[in-house]
Structure 1
Amino acid sequence: MAINSGGGGSGGSKRQKVDGLDDQCEAEGSDAIPLDRISALPDELRLRVLTHLPLKDAIRTGALARGWRDLWRGRWAHRASLEVHLRSRDDLRRELDALAREPQPRRRLDRFSLNVGISTLKASEFRRFLDYAAECGVEDLHVETTRKSLVAGELNFHLPLLSLALACLSLCHISVSSMFHKGARSFHALEVIRLESVSFRPKAFKKMMALCPNLLTLDLRSCRCNGYGWEFDRLPPNLRSLAIAGCERITSLDFVRVPSLRSFHYEGRFSNLPLSIPRDATLSDLYIQLFDSEPMKEWNMDNLRKSLPKDLSSLNVLTICYKALMGASVLSADGASAQLPNFNLHSLKELHLLMFEMKAVNLSNLYLFLKIFQCPNLERLFVQLPAYRCKPMEGCIDQVLEEPPEDGLNNLVMVKVMNFNWIPTEVQLVSFLLRKASSLQKLLIVSRNVTPVDLPGAPEADLSLLKEALVNGKIMLTTSDNAATQPYHEAFIES
């Protein structure tokens, strides 16, 4: 639907004069400014306009003018969002009776959320809720079971039973059926799928992807594939964001048919490499966390290199774990770092280091990474240190064999160090950042111990620098993690 915005929004001195719905303009000099006639309509009529738009488009109208902001929230006279919590059979009977009493045609719903906390829900009862959501033309659907026993197959989710207006689907702790329904129609409006602890058979996953040709975001967390394993060779062609975290039995991660990919998030094992991201993809953000207990070998890092696009020069955000950093020291031997042309991080603005070990070798690998993959435009640095459950052992920095980089952090303005424990390697890292980040404006340290600790293994010069920065306010030390300064990527912490 075309909306006439008036054509005069760029002139600060130009004003619009609304006087009913007449075809009139207010002239200033030689300019004539047509009225935004649709914004002049009463709220009741504008809300009626919004009822004919999909939810996402109704929300976007807030950018038209101040009068449109949040107007979409009132586009239905009734509640546009419904949450159902089933904690007992009484809850179930009450909710089903309430749905049955609603007259036809059903009301329109933007969002429907079903939270199942009982183990006695029958498949026929579950289907009644899904049928209701479809009859209401729901656009955002969330289904979650709170008891893991339900994952074993007692309840099956059937995608073809849902509203064709569905734009966002979120499932948690449930099984997805094979969905081989004759005449199943594609969900052209479905753009976002988020699945957590969902079990599939390979054919069911492939069928779901085939029914969602316009999918833009796919997020898989701790999902299980019951059968031969996952197959990712038939993903929707316009997919822009893909997250795979803790999914077992992955046999192939071949994304060569999705060159539109811009965001990739992977948490898994070395054994599943290479990932085969399209070599011509232009990633803007990347998250790599590897869980194998074995040390990073040269072939592992080489597989990681082959998994990534040939050009990372457009990367703005990178989250990488300490195990992947180990590969930098392996590949740097005998000039092998020259084999990494795709690790061009010159556009990187934010770097998040998942340092779940902070021994001397880990600090060496961190220094080496910053030397090899220079980030001259880096502005924000987050360092996630290990969360010790007891008093950490005293460390020694004599085994830090790599010298800190001399430059490359001139544009760094904000640093946040989480789980700081005052061990020597951590103290040296913070003192290095204080010395080398010439534009640093804020250094936040989150620590259970807000009192500086004198450790035998830490150089006095490093400790003195930290204490001085605390006194003059260069370092902000706190026991709580401020939600206002969070990294772009939410880190998955191993339990």
Structure 2
Amino acid sequence: MAYQLRGGGGVAPDLNPLPPEGGEQAPPPAAEVDRISSLPEKARLRILSFLPLKAAVKLGMVSNRWSHLVNTPQWPCDSILAIHIRPATQGPCGCLVPTHIRSDQIMPLLANELGRRGRGPGHRLLRFFLKVDDAQTRPADFYSLLDYAADCDVEDFYVDAGLGPPEVSFNFQRASHRLLRLVLFGVGVNQAHRRPMSQERSINTLEVITIENTSLGDLELKWVLLLCPRLRTLVLRNCRVLTCVDVTAASERLVRLTVAECPQVDKISVSAALGLHSFRYIGDLLRSVALPPTCFGDLRICFTKATLVDPIQYHNWLDALPNLSNLVNLTICSNALKIMSALRNRENFQTQVAKLSNLQNLRELRLVLYRMNTLMLSHTYGFLRMCRCSRLRNLFLELPKARTDSFVDAVNGLAEEPAMDGFESLVKVKINNFQWQCIEIELVHFLFRKARSLQKLILVAPKGTNPERDQSGNAIFPDLNLLCLEKAPANVEVQGAQLVLWL
């Protein structure tokens, strides 16, 4: 079937195509079916300018040619507005934000450049990015920029005021009527929750909220969730005042929840979020945790406390874990490995520990290790022996940057290796901060012995490490031609090089 391009940018089938010679229609080649993707880049950018943000993102997910345009700031300039406010005494910073202004020149910008661009729903914004690096910025000027973006019906709203004026906040009652994603860094939430909810305007389009590095409190969080009935993703990071994360008000549609490095949080209640697919927690011990009984697809639990006085006090996490049979991605830390090692031999905790042996659909496992010694290797082997994830394809290990382990500790007692189960499908392993210590080399040799289908091993070594010989001076790999140097991606900051071993 042929396709024709309508004037509004849509695509409709041409029901009357000319038949080929011979009278019988022949199916068009695959390369000719998607004619829109074959348009020049300028034409495709024009089409993007008419699409809602959500539709444009979906388009970038199904087509590589469109993905390049969607994920890079090449859209028409009237669809994206990015502003970086810097101190008057600071020179150009060299960042990629196109508009740099000094804090004492905000009003001329509003009067001139934004005035020429236009204001109101007829001059809509897909994305608005504002970074403020000057604490002397006047709050009135800051709010003027936020109001401008709201008047233009912005859909993707990102504000970073971590180095800007203190005590600035976002007013949900002045938010855009088309707001889809909201990211606030160093920005509080307006105190309008003190008014009755009947007087508040709900934001029925907002689906993603990220709040970081601010003094968000329990009442503010509850008020935000009540105002956003279609919320699907909530990320709370370094919210210094927050003590309780209760998402009951957003339980109907919530799919992803992340609570990270919020020092005062001691209670998380998400048991009513039956559609929750991804749950990530990074922080200290919680007094109370309630998770939904449904299956997760993505789970991350990292306890950042350096030492564990009594692992038994963490058993409430095991009690709260739901059925993990559908779990696809799992991230746990070395403290969690210690807890499971301490509890798996106790009869009264066998039911809880058994939940982690039901990981038959696990495809990716990430271990964040705060220490790397013989005991930690034993905890790692014990976990791999217990979980028996036969479909595991990718294994990632994050090793600590600072090391105090000695060669004597590495060879004093080798950990017991787990059984073969769980490594039949493993094809990729990546180890960060690999410093070529004996205990790390033992782990690599273990993977060579057990993972028969391993295809790629990536060792990210810090700068200055010797990738050829171990601490005893012996060659690690007899044939160094197997090691090749892979340049790190331009958008990733890596100290040192990535050593890639192809098998």
TM-score range, shorter chain: 0.7 to 0.9
Number of equivalences: 455
Identity %: 31
Instruction: State the SS of the aligned residue for 2:210.
Output: strand
Q: 2:477 aligns with which of 435, 446, 467?
A: 467
| 1:380 equivalent in structure 2 | 394
Note if contact 1:224-1:248 (Cα within 8 Å) is conserved in structure 2: yes
Residue 347 of structure 2 corresponds to residue 355 of structure 1: no
| 2:136 equivalent in structure 1 | 120
1:422, distance to aligned residue in structure 2 (A):
2.3
**Bigger mean CA offset, 159-168 vs 88-97:** 88-97
TM-score by length of 1: 0.80
1:293, distance to aligned residue in structure 2 (A):
2.8
| Aligned-residue RMSD, C-alpha | 3.8
What is the CA–CA distance in structure 2 between the aligned matches of 1:411 and 1:117, rounded to whole Å?
48
Within a 5 Å distance, the mapping from 1:70-81 to structure 2 comes to 78-81=77-80
Q: 1:413 aligns with which of 394, 416, 427?
A: 427
Residues 31/283 of structure 1: CA separation in 2 closer, same or farther (3 Å cut): farther
| 1:320 equivalent in structure 2 | 332
| 2:270 equivalent in structure 1 | 255
Note if contact 2:209-2:234 (Cα within 8 Å) is conserved in structure 1: yes
1:145, distance to aligned residue in structure 2 (A):
1.3
Residue 180 of structure 2 corresponds to residue 167 of structure 1: yes
Instruction: State the SS of the aligned residue for 2:441.
Output: helix
Within a 5 Å distance, the mapping from 1:378-457 to structure 2 comes to 378-388=392-402, 393-398=406-411, 400=413, 402-408=415-421, 409-448=423-462, 449-455=465-471
What is the CA–CA distance in structure 2 between the aligned matches of 1:237 and 1:429, rounded to whole Å?
44
Instruction: State the SS of the aligned residue for 2:192.
Output: coil
Note if contact 1:47-1:74 (Cα within 8 Å) is conserved in structure 2: no
| 1:60 equivalent in structure 2 | 58
What is the CA–CA distance in structure 2 between the aligned matches of 1:455 and 1:22, rounded to whole Å?
71
Residues 108/348 of structure 1: CA separation in 2 closer, same or farther (3 Å cut): same
What is the CA–CA distance in structure 2 between the aligned matches of 1:451 and 1:300, rounded to whole Å?
41
Q: 2:169 aligns with which of 152, 156, 162?
A: 156
Instruction: State the SS of the aligned residue for 2:123.
Output: coil
Instruction: State the SS of the aligned residue for 1:363.
Output: helix
1:294, distance to aligned residue in structure 2 (A):
3.0
Note if contact 2:212-2:236 (Cα within 8 Å) is conserved in structure 1: yes
What is the CA–CA distance in structure 1 between the aligned matches of 2:481 and 2:74, rounded to whole Å?
53
Instruction: State the SS of the aligned residue for 1:299.
Output: helix
Residues 326/119 of structure 1: CA separation in 2 closer, same or farther (3 Å cut): same
Note if contact 1:256-1:276 (Cα within 8 Å) is conserved in structure 2: yes
What is the CA–CA distance in structure 1 between the aligned matches of 2:481 and 2:219, rounded to whole Å?
62
Within a 5 Å distance, the mapping from 1:16-95 to structure 2 comes to 16=2, 23-25=15-17, 53-61=51-59, 78-87=77-86, 88-95=102-109
Residue 342 of structure 2 corresponds to residue 330 of structure 1: yes
What is the CA–CA distance in structure 1 between the aligned matches of 2:368 and 2:43, rounded to whole Å?
52
1:231, distance to aligned residue in structure 2 (A):
4.0
Instruction: State the SS of the aligned residue for 1:467.
Output: coil
| 1:245 equivalent in structure 2 | 260
Note if contact 1:17-1:26 (Cα within 8 Å) is conserved in structure 2: no
Residue 377 of structure 2 corresponds to residue 371 of structure 1: no
1:171, distance to aligned residue in structure 2 (A):
0.8
1:45, distance to aligned residue in structure 2 (A):
11
Instruction: State the SS of the aligned residue for 1:222.
Output: strand
Q: 1:138 aligns with which of 141, 146, 154?
A: 154
Note if contact 2:312-2:339 (Cα within 8 Å) is conserved in structure 1: no
Residues 76/383 of structure 1: CA separation in 2 closer, same or farther (3 Å cut): closer
**Bigger mean CA offset, 417-426 vs 158-167:** 417-426
1:105-139 CA distances to partner (integer Å, 9 max, x unpaired)? 45111011121222233333222112111110100
What is the CA–CA distance in structure 1 between the aligned matches of 2:69 and 2:307, rounded to whole Å?
55
What is the CA–CA distance in structure 1 between the aligned matches of 2:129 and 2:443, rounded to whole Å?
46
What is the CA–CA distance in structure 1 between the aligned matches of 2:160 and 2:3, rounded to whole Å?
51
What is the CA–CA distance in structure 2 between the aligned matches of 1:398 and 1:75, rounded to whole Å?
55
1:212, distance to aligned residue in structure 2 (A):
0.8
Note if contact 1:363-1:400 (Cα within 8 Å) is conserved in structure 2: no
Note if contact 1:395-1:423 (Cα within 8 Å) is conserved in structure 2: no
Instruction: State the SS of the aligned residue for 1:375.
Output: coil
AA aligned to 2:321 is L
1:375-396 CA distances to partner (integer Å, 9 max, x unpaired)? 111111111111127x863242
**Bigger mean CA offset, 183-192 vs 445-454:** 445-454
Within a 5 Å distance, the mapping from 1:179-218 to structure 2 comes to 179-180=192-193, 183-218=199-234
1:137-163 CA distances to partner (integer Å, 9 max, x unpaired)? 100111111427x44x2x122122110
What is the CA–CA distance in structure 2 between the aligned matches of 1:437 and 1:485, rounded to whole Å?
28
Instruction: State the SS of the aligned residue for 2:263.
Output: coil
| 1:10 equivalent in structure 2 | none
TM-score by length of 2: 0.79
AA aligned to 2:254 is L
